A and B are shown apart, each in its own frame.
Chain A
Amino acid sequence: SQQGEEDPQALSIQEGENATMNCSYKTSINNLQWYRQNSGRGLVHLILIRSNEREKHSGRLRVTLDTSKKSSSLLITASRAADTASYFCATPQAAGNKLTFGGGTRVLVKP
């Protein structure tokens, strides 16, 4: 099963609204990362939050991490049509920096 699981699987919002998606994981982590994938493209790293951090911001992105609940959330504020993409959480596992990805949240921002 996936180490990270995103919720919801799909999200449809109007431009200007906020989008929130959640990720749960099973084992202890050093950090958790969020990636974006536009249709037909590769993944782009968005933000990394370490296990000793609770919240991190990057532009219109806000990530939280609750290690006691083994969960993270990604908030996109004031969404734009260009934010339409799939968003994945990922955690590095063991040696070799192996990333284990969740199933992703597909976000559709309607103009």
Chain B
Amino acid sequence: DTAVSQTPKYLVTQMGNDKSIKCEQNLGHDTMYWYKQDSKKFLKIMFSYNNKELIINETVPNRFSPKSPDKAHLNLHINSLELGDSAVYFCASSQDSTTDTQYFGPGTRLTVL
């Protein structure tokens, strides 16, 4: 049983397009996150939601918009994709916003051509 799942696993698209990545967790956690991992393997947090409410919003272009329809889902929508958006995007969850251990999804490799 997959605890944190993401779809799609790979996404190849043209510059200027709009795309979405979906994330679901079946752990019953309250808090979910989006991270971006660049080509040099550096991981940076982008957003965090606790019970469907945004609690962390790092300096991310407003072309990125997270949406949490319920606490088990946190989707990431990206408008007007740019070459620099190419990266691996990881979703994660934790029991709540004060619990330290995070559980990561398998990642979505986004390639913008």
Contact = CB atoms under 8 A, between A and B. Distances in A.
Contacts of B43: 43, 88, 101
A4 B31 CA distance: 23
B42 A41 contact: no
Contacts of A70: none
Q: Which of A35, A99, A100, A101 has the most chain B CB atoms closer than 10 A to its own CB? A: A99
Contacts, number: 61
Contact of B100 (A2, A31, A41, A44): A31
A42 B4 contact: yes
A57 interface: no
A101 B50 contact: no
Given A103-B40, A103-B42, A95 B100 contact: no
Given A41-B107, A42-B4, A99 B102 contact: yes
B94 interface: yes
B4 A2 contact: no
B105 to A, nearest CB: 5
Given A95-B55, A96-B48, A98-B45, A44 B99 contact: no
Contacts of B83: none
Given A33-B100, A33-B101, A88-B43, A97 B94 contact: yes
